[in-house]
Amino acid sequence: MPVSPARDAALDILLRVEQGGFASELLHSERLDRLTAQDRGLATELVMGVLRWRSRLDEAIADLSSQKLSKLDPEVLESLRLAAYQVGFLAKIPAHAAVNDAVELVKRKKKKSAAPFVNAVLRKLLKKKDLLEPLLAPGPKTIPELSALYAHPLWLVDRWAAQFGVESTDQICNYNQHVPPTAIHLSDSSVEPELTNAGIALAPGRLLTNTRIVTAGDITKTAAFSEGRVQIQDEASQLVALLAGRGQRLLDCCAAPGGKTAILSERNPQSQIVATELHPHRAEALRQRLRSRTNVTVTSVDVTQADLPANFDRVLADVPCSGTGTLARNPEIKWRLNTDDLSDLHRRQVAILRAALSKLRPGGRLLYSTCSLEPEENQDVIREAATDCFVVPVREELAVLRDEGLLIADPQQISERNFLRILPGKFSTDGFFAAMLTR
């Protein structure tokens, strides 16, 4: 029997995510190029929906299954999740179509013996859709209830509540369960009418005057995007790049994929910018993306081993991190991450920050940033690695940016103590942390 191309593609991507891939990359891979725009949109909805709501889906499936989920083959479990998401969350999709395709997909994956089991579980689910809705007591939500309601691991919700409070944690988790806005950075405001004529509907940014939010249309199909005159970049990420500041010599550590590097180049057109990237293939992609930026030199090197002079006026250390501030875009992270990972990341981040600081001239400034919410990757790194430095209150740099397009009048809205702190959902952006250091 024929199977929906969107469901077929979604299952393939979910299986690759289980093997360590990232949905945001796989959904832009060649696997989806042969789909129609409608099927591509449905495949994206299915993949992201399953990843966002996985624990709720698993609880319902486990309640109806005669076998433990840990004993199921990946092809069987992902097919069940795919159908359960459609049954419970997509009212416009006929439930019988979701069930029938799940059974056929299992057969296609050479798991024909599991087809009756999949069919039986899903037929039961059609009669018990309420299993996909957690039971909540009246009144304020508890931490376990937030975990169940928003399909987040309890350990993450617990630590966020301790750090930010229950109300802010509710906001973070809620935001993570929705499709985040597509923000673009406009290098040239004259591009906006061109985008409008191309059928792209735009709204103003929440943080920056040079940001627009795409409310309709596919920005990736425009000439302005393909020519690099606009770039897709979360608005908080754009702000971090602006905070890195101006100078004659700038160093961008861990620079790929290059959105922040492009903004540094734009703001410092007469300056020399060195962009380092550990992985050669990512460095080459970065080089191609920035090929028109003649003031940027890209080098593939581990910044902790790089032989660079200690004469940079400004350094940006936007380090690899857990990404817990980006779960709306990368929901698979919450199912992979554990506390051991945070310890490993902390050690790497400390090493990168120490190396980056060694390249800073006396009196220069370094911006350390992550898209993580975790103290091990933020305050704790600053405390351990910057013992011979001063923390510059980020409000000083934010005050400068108010004259250059920052829309936030009160810096306390996006700062905590001396640091930049933006929580997911507060301004419809990813979560970011940043600290400004000087020697």
Enclosing H/E stretch for 375: none
Beta-carbon count within 10 A of 55 CB: 18
Which residues neighbour 275 within 8 Å (Cβ) at sequence distance 6 or greater?
252, 255, 258, 261, 286, 290, 296, 297, 298, 299
- How far is the C-alpha of 141 from the C-alpha of 152, rounded, in Å? 14
User: Which residues, listed in sequence order, are joined to residue 314 by a DSSP beta bridge?
Assistant: 250, 365
Residue whose structure tokens are 């987040």: 152
3-state percent breakdown (helix, strand, coil) of the chain, nearest 5? 50, 15, 35
Q: Check if the beta carbon of residue 290 is closer than 8 Å to that of residue 339.
A: no
Q: Give the gyration radius of the chain's Cα atoms.
A: 23
Q: CB–CB of 206/427 below 8 Å?
A: yes
3-state secondary structure 382-428: HHHHCCCCEEECHHHHHHHHCCCCECCCCHHHHEECCEEEECCCCCC
- The residue type of 377 is E
Residue 229 DSSP SS3: coil
Q: Which residue among 173, 253, 371, 389 is the active-site one?
A: 371
Among candidate residues 232, 183, 228, the one with its CA nearest the CA of residue 209: 183
**DSSP letters of 48-102?**
HHHHHTHHHHHHHHHHH-SS-GGGS-HHHHHHHHHHHHHHHH-TTS-HHHHHHHH
Annotation marks residue 371 as catalytic: yes
80, 102 Cβ separation under 8 angstroms: yes
Under 8 Å between Cβ of 83 and 105: no
Report how far residue 325's alpha carbon sits from residue 180's, in angstroms, rounded to the nearest whole number.
12
In angstroms, the CA 65 to CA 73 distance is 14
**Catalytic residue positions, numbered:** 371
